[in-house]
Amino acid sequence: MGSARPICAAMADGPERNRLGGRLARYARVGTTVGGLAAQAAVGRVLGRPLDDARMAADLRAALGGLKGPVMKIAQILSTIPDAVPPAWAAELSQLQADAPPMGWPFVRRRMASELGPDWRTRFADFEQTAAHAASLGQVHRATLPGGQRVAVKLQYPDMASAVEADLRQLDLLFGVYRRIDSSIDTAEIGEELGERLREELDYAREAQHIALYRAMLGDEPDVRLPEVVGELSTKRLLTMTWLDGRPLLAFRDAPLEVRNRIAETLFRAWYRPLYRYGIIHGDPHLGNYAVRGEGEGLNLLDFGCVRVFPARFIGGTVDLFRALQANDIDATVAAYEKWGFTGLSRDLIETLNVWASFLYGPLLDDRVRLIDASGRPGDYGRETAMAVHARLREQGTVRIPREFVFMDRAAVGLGGVFIHLKAELNWSALFRELVADFDEAALARRQAAVLAEAGLAAEAVADPFHV
């Protein structure tokens, strides 16, 4: 399998300063946007203008479109979490791009020297000055080691800790606007979950552990390839990994059906085998986080900053609900919801939750070869159902969504969009039933503990206790 070597001690122990000045400046820039939205919402409430107004949503997109950094990543995530924001907002936010202008070469030199020391350039035979990819939190450069090994060097932008805290604060204000106008969904858990995961993404030493974790979980999947970490050239804000060649997934949209199906099935297993065997999921189903090898012979998984570990009991609830819906057993369905932490379930609320559950589980309950969704609109996957559920919840009162659903739902909706892009035709039910055929909570808990310990994350399972 191979394991990651120790992270370089150059800056691993001293967290980057969360500069007050940087945070205040970020508050001012992002706060102007959110403050303007709050003012619009307040006026709209008086005038009877709905919060889900298309014009307000377009204004939000236009305002955020001029900002970069974590706020763009947050906006994209919110667009994929059902009911996190009004549907019109989600439609606009989904069109934002989290990519950022890359840092220039003089800036890169200074950053590399701060992470690896003034002689950093001697550690590489070649280092491309132009970034191969730039995103919201950092950028990636191609490089070659003295022995000839090609590597990807992921360098975090400076002051990201300040930017993340400032943008999360504005997220709280945005949710506050939403709650004042529409209280049918309690967004408190969504905000907390996003905050925890985004702060984790700042720690590249942790991401190195996540890579080791996934290499352990997917080591026997021959069609899935993951990078290896070069530990002596990595710190908390610099991650050096082996370079994996591949083409973008969307380059295969017009490939023969058997090729598209093979890619989709590999992706399905790569995401859901870790979830149902180990209770662990990759929380960022972004198209840029995987690449296809050759003519569809295999898949590269990339970017492991966002990984969520679930208690075995929560995963047991997902399997219980599948089996309850399959058997049309109402009592078992209610028991599954309660296992997840939902309380005070009325008959009307159960029926509403079943609308969303039927959408998520629909392809898994349909034992035949089919498209994941016939709409052909990847960006809208799940949006109409979310709108219908939201309307019903508004009539029934506030529902507090357990935080575990934030990235579970995001993965389901995001992956569904990818499968729509590929126009894959598979028996999704057969694939899922194979994954859960021998499901056992106790066995999952044992496997999870073992694989976390192997990756140096032994305390992870108990760091986030299940909320009931």
CA angle 152, 216, 454 (to 5 degrees): 105
The C-alpha atoms of residue 426 and residue 262 are separated, in whole angstroms, by: 9
Mean pLDDT, residues 384-399: 72
Average of per-residue pLDDT across 206-221: 95
- 49, with CB counted inside 10 A (0-12, 13-18, 19+), is middle
State the pLDDT confidence band at 466, using cuts at 50, 70 and 90.
very low
Which amino acid is it at 36?
G
* pLDDT-based confidence at residue 71 (cuts at 50, 70, 90): low
Lowest mean pLDDT among 9-13, 292-296, 318-322: 9-13
Q: In terms of pLDDT, which residue wins out, 35 or 281?
A: 281
Higher local confidence (pLDDT), 409 or 363: 363
Give the mean model confidence (pLDDT) for residues 381-389: 73
Cα–Cα distance measured from residue 175 to residue 173, given in angstroms and rounded to the nearest whole number: 5
Kindly report the average pLDDT of the chain as a whole number. 81
Q: Quick one: pLDDT at residue 467? A: 37
pLDDT, tens only, 135-189: 778 899 999 999 999 999 999 988 888 888 877 776 666 666 666 656 656 666 7
Residue 99: which of 135, 61, 56 has the closest Cα?
A: 135
Nearest alpha carbon to residue 198 among 90, 69, 81, 305: 305
Residue 32 has pLDDT above 90, yes or no: no
Q: Which token pair is 195?
A: 């905050």
The pLDDT value recorded for residue 51 is: 53
Rounded Cα distance between 228 and 236, Å, is 16
In Å, how far are 74, 246, 300, 379 from 243, measured between CA atoms?
27, 10, 10, 30
pLDDT, greater one: 318 or 166: 318
pLDDT at 340: 86
Residue 373 CA, distance from chain mean position: 21
> What is the arithmetic mean of pLDDT over 58-70?
63
Checking if the pLDDT of 342 tops 50, the result is yes
Q: At what angle do helices 257-278 and 428-436 cross, to 10 degrees?
A: 30
* pLDDT confidence of residue 224: 96
Nearest to 423 by CA among 348, 460, 370: 370
State the Cα angle at 390 between 384 and 394, rounded to 5°.
150
Q: State residue 393's pLDDT score.
A: 72
Question: What's the pLDDT score for residue 355?
Answer: 87
CA dist., res. 102 & res. 94, Å (int): 22
46 vs 72, more confident: 72
Strand partners, 307: 282
- Give 192's pLDDT tier (boundaries 50, 70, 90): confident
Judged against a pLDDT cut of 50, whether residue 462 lies above it is answered with no
pLDDT at position 10 is 44
> Is the CB of residue 59 less than 8 Å from the CB of residue 39?
no
Distance CA 175, CA 152 (A): 37
Who wins on pLDDT, 307 or 405? 307
Q: pLDDT tens across 451-460, in order?
A: 999 999 975 5
Around Cβ 346, how many Cβ atoms within 10 Å? 10
Q: Are 310 and 281 in contact (CB under 8 A)?
A: yes
Instruction: Specify the range with the lowest mean pLDDT, choosing from 69-73, 112-116, 156-160, 330-334.
Output: 69-73
Q: How far apart are CA 373 and CA 419, in angstroms?
A: 8
Q: Report the chain's C-alpha Rg in angstroms.
A: 22
Find the mean pLDDT for residues 357-368.
92
Instruction: Say what the pLDDT of residue 203 is.
Output: 95
Chain segment 232-289, per-residue pLDDT in tens? 999 999 999 999 999 998 899 999 999 999 999 999 999 999 999 999 998 777 777 8
Residues 207 and 227: beta-carbon distance below 8 Å: no
Which of 240-249, 264-273, 313-322, 384-393 has the weakest average pLDDT?
A: 384-393
Least confident of 99-108, 379-388, 402-411: 379-388
Domain ranges within the chain, ordered by starting residue: 20-98+160-200, 308-463
Are 96 and 65 contacting, i.e. CB atoms less than 8 angstroms apart?
yes
Statement: residue 211 has pLDDT above 60:
yes
Closest alpha carbon to 186 in 281, 112, 84: 84
Q: Which two tokens stand for residue 265?
A: 């099935």
Of residues 146 and 5, more confidence is placed in 146
Q: What is the pLDDT of residues 396-434, one digit of tens each?
A: 766 677 778 777 877 888 888 889 989 999 999 999 999
pLDDT at 391: 72
Residue 16 has pLDDT above 70, yes or no: no
As a whole-number percent, the residues of the chain with pLDDT over 70 amount to: 69
pLDDT of residue 426: 98
Q: Reduce the secondary structure of the chain to three states and give it as a string.
A: CCCCCCCCCCCCCCCCCCCHHHHHHHHHHHHHHHHHHHHHHHHHHHHCCCCCCHHHHHHHHHHHCCCCCHHHHHHHHHHHCCCCCCHHHHHHHCCCCCCCCCCCHHHHHHHHHHHHCCCHHHHCCEECCCCCEECCCEEEEEEECCCCCEEEEEEECCCHHHHHHHHHHHHHHHHHHHHHHCCCEECHHHHHHHHHHHHHHCCHHHHHHHHHHHHHHCCCCCCEECCCECHHHCCCCEEEEECCCCEEHHHHCCCCHHHHHHHHHHHHHHHHHHHHHHCEEECCCCHHHEEEECCCCEEEECCCCCEEECCHHHHHHHHHHHHHHHHCCHHHHHHHHHHHCCCCCCHHHHHHHHHHHHHHHHHHHCCCCEECCCCCCHHHCCHHHHHHHHHHHHHHCCEECCCCHHHHHHHHHHHHHHHHHHCCEECHHHHHHHHHCCCCHHHHHHHHHHHHHHCCCCCHHHHCCCCC
